Amino acid sequence: MPILSSEQVSEKVVKVLRNHLDSSSECTEISTESTLDELGLDSFKAIHVLLDLEEEFQIQIPDSMLSPEIFASVGALKHAVESILESQ
């Protein structure tokens, strides 16, 4: 996978998140500060988001990263993805 800019990673993370939002949330502004709870994502949807992020970025999110902190915000997810991409 080609090297992605921070902005490109953000765009892809937001795209994946949008796929899991209820249709009533489509107009919701998503920023790196947005919490997954604010976006209406429950733990079940959050797991699906992680699976889709793995597919989108062709990465494997290690079990050691699966903590409440990774689900704290869009920025936390983005940071996790970036750290995995940087280590590849």
Domain region containing 22? 6-87
Q: What is the mean pLDDT of residues 68-86?
A: 95
Query: Amino acid letter at 40?
Result: G
pLDDT for 1 equals 61
Tokens 């992680």 map to which residue? 50
Query: Amino acid letter at 21?
Result: L
Query: Based on the structure, what is the number of domains in the chain?
Result: 1
CATH number at residue 10: 1.10.1200.10
- Residue 60 in domain: yes
pLDDT for 64 equals 93
- Residue 23 in domain: yes
pLDDT for 24 equals 60
Local structure of residue 53 (DSSP, 8 states): H
pTM: 0.88
Query: Amino acid letter at 71?
Result: F
User: Phi and psi (nearest 5°) for 3?
Assistant: -65, 130
- Residue 14 in domain: yes
- Residue 1 in domain: no
- Residue 63 in domain: yes
**pLDDT level of residue 26 (50, 70, 90 thresholds):** low
What span, in angstroms and rounded, lies between the C-alpha atoms of 75 and 1?
Answer: 21
Q: What is the mean pLDDT of residues 57-71?
A: 93
Which among 66, 76, 60, 63 has a CA at the least distance from the CA of 17? 76
- Residue 57 in domain: yes
pLDDT for 50 equals 95
